[in-house]
Amino acid sequence: MAKVDFKDLDLEETRAWVEKIGVETYRAEQIRRWVFSHQAESFEDMTNLSKELRNHLNSFSTISQLKLLKTEISLDGTRKFLFGLEDGNRIESVLIPERGHYTACISTQVGCAMGCKFCLTARQGLARNLKSSEIINQIMQIRQSMDQPGKLTNIVLMGMGEPLANYKAVAKAIKNIIYPDALDFSRRRVTLSTCGLVPEIERLGRELPINLAVSLNAADDKTRNLLMPINRKYPLKRLLHTLMHYPMTKGRRITFEYILIKDINDRLSDATNLVKLLKNIRAKINLIPFNNYDGSPFEAPDEERIRAFQDELIRKNYTVMIRKSKGTDISAACGQLTSRCF
């Protein structure tokens, strides 16, 4: 029997597995508390389990960890982590200081297959999906590195990869992020960002009530086709129809991320089109000036143009934030992650 990794299992799967090896099912909750709440690194740490049971678990299961290869710290306090995986692949994660708390930006794939033209990760291509344990371990090991781990309150699935292209593993990881018997983060503080995989957005809305962010970046199909190849498969009309029917609790809104690129999508006419596009959706908008990287054909607009774009949206009663990129000096900002040039 191949060893099972407890971080790849949800509660029901853990119960089924311990029963399969002849252990009482109530032990599942004990094991999960040790793995997730106490962050046990070995079965020997599980002191309220008998020696015999610990040996039994050690024979049939494992508690995985990622290999931390390197950490870089930005002038603004942002930290970027390079993790090694068992097969030799590598991923990056980011810890972002906010006002009074921290946000962890987590990867869901090694690289990305979506091909967005403004994103350095896309240039790497896709090596493979991450397992749910590899997603969870980023959070757990980042938290272990912190002097005040309780200040890590927000999780964003916005690192390397398209989360919804790895739906099964990501969904299981989210369950272990928000479930009380695991990491117990508030679901209101967990956000998944997608480039717009329509069927998976619909599924996410049915199955997992967390925050949704959509990387939009254009208000017309011609421009979005140029920037984001996924738009040819799921054009704006279909995407927006799905988002209009996305289930949200009272007071919640979908976040639309809009990377401002000089002379591509930063005109006042683009802002006007964006208002028309989102008129039937409960939305808030994050404007993100393009983060440059070597070899990119794009530039960020100047400050005056960014403010004019924001003002036009505010005049139409949208909540609009200009998201200040953090960690740019260590290539940890939006669109800059790639394990090939750390």
Structure tokens at 183: 């990491």
> Do the beta carbons of residue 313 and residue 279 sit within 8 Å?
no
Of the candidates 24, 98, 334, 341, the residue annotated as catalytic is 334
Sign of the Cα pseudo-torsion (94, 95, 97, 102, in order): positive
**Any domain includes 336:** no
Query: How many domains does the chain fold into?
Result: 2
CA dihedral 250, 253, 254, 257 (to 10 degrees): -170
Strands 126-129 and 90-97 turn out to be: unpaired
**Any domain includes 301:** yes
pTM, full prediction: 0.93
Q: Alpha helix locations (H) across the chain?
A: 11-20, 27-32, 51-60, 120-124, 132-144, 167-178, 198-207, 221-227, 230-233, 236-244, 268-277, 303-315
* Residue range 43-100, pLDDT digits in tens: 999 999 999 999 999 999 999 999 999 999 999 899 999 999 999 999 999 999 999 9
Please choose, from the candidates 261, 242, 334, the residue with its C-alpha nearest in 3D space to the C-alpha of residue 302.
261
Looking at residue 335, its pLDDT comes to 55
Amino acid 236 reads L
Is 192 in the same domain as 55? Answer: no
Question: Is residue 326 pLDDT above 70, yes or no?
Answer: no
Is 207 in the same domain as 288? Answer: yes
> Do the beta carbons of residue 186 and residue 103 sit within 8 Å?
no
Lowest mean pLDDT among 20-29, 128-137, 148-157, 327-336: 327-336
Structure tokens at 280: 């039937």
Of the candidates 92, 134, 200, 257, the residue annotated as catalytic is 92
Rounded mean pLDDT of 279-295? 90
Looking at residue 329, its pLDDT comes to 64
Say which DSSP state 300 is in.
P
* Residue range 222-255, pLDDT digits in tens: 999 999 999 999 999 999 999 999 998 888 999 9
**Any domain includes 337:** no
Q: Among residues of the chain, what percentage have pLDDT more than 90?
A: 86
> Do the beta carbons of residue 313 and residue 268 sit within 8 Å?
no
Is 282 in the same domain as 309? Answer: yes
> Do the beta carbons of residue 22 and residue 5 sit within 8 Å?
no
- Is 92 an annotated catalytic residue? yes
Quote the mean pLDDT of the chain: 93
- Cα 3 to Cα 57: distance, rounded to the nearest angstrom: 9
**Any domain includes 273:** yes
> What is the CATH classification number for the domain harbouring 121?
3.20.20.70
- Cα 310 to Cα 329: distance, rounded to the nearest angstrom: 25
**Any domain includes 338:** no
**Any domain includes 335:** no
Is 311 in the same domain as 216? Answer: yes
Which residue range is the domain that position 57 belongs to?
A: 4-62
Domain stops at, among 44, 62, 80: 62
Is 146 in the same domain as 173? Answer: yes
Please choose, from the candidates 71, 137, 80, 78, the residue with its C-alpha nearest in 3D space to the C-alpha of residue 102.
78
Looking at residue 32, its pLDDT comes to 96
Is 93 in the same domain as 51? Answer: no
Looking at residue 295, its pLDDT comes to 80
**Any domain includes 303:** yes
**Any domain includes 38:** yes
Is 24 in the same domain as 153? Answer: no
- Cα 40 to Cα 201: distance, rounded to the nearest angstrom: 34
Is 78 in the same domain as 58? Answer: no
Looking at residue 293, its pLDDT comes to 78
Rounded mean pLDDT of 302-323? 94
> What is the CATH classification number for the domain harbouring 38?
1.10.150.530
* Residue range 99-145, pLDDT digits in tens: 999 999 999 999 999 999 998 888 889 999 999 999 999 999 999 99
Looking at residue 334, its pLDDT comes to 62
Q: Which residue has the tokens 């480039």?
A: 195
The DSSP element (H or E) to which 194 belongs, if any, is: strand 190-194
Is 172 in the same domain as 318? Answer: yes
Domain stops at, among 38, 62, 86: 62
- Cα 243 to Cα 12: distance, rounded to the nearest angstrom: 31
Beta bridge partners of 254: 283
Is 195 in the same domain as 208? Answer: yes
Q: Could you give the strand order of the β-sheet that contains 90-97, starting from the edge strand earlier in sequence?
A: 67-73, 79-84, 90-97, 102-105, 152-157, 190-194, 211-215, 254-260, 283-289, 319-322
φ, ψ for residue 316 (rounded to 5)? -95, 15
> Do the beta carbons of residue 200 and residue 206 sit within 8 Å?
no
Is 94 in the same domain as 48? Answer: no
Q: Among residues of the chain, what percentage have pLDDT more than 70?
A: 94
Domain stops at, among 18, 36, 62: 62
Is 150 in the same domain as 263? Answer: yes
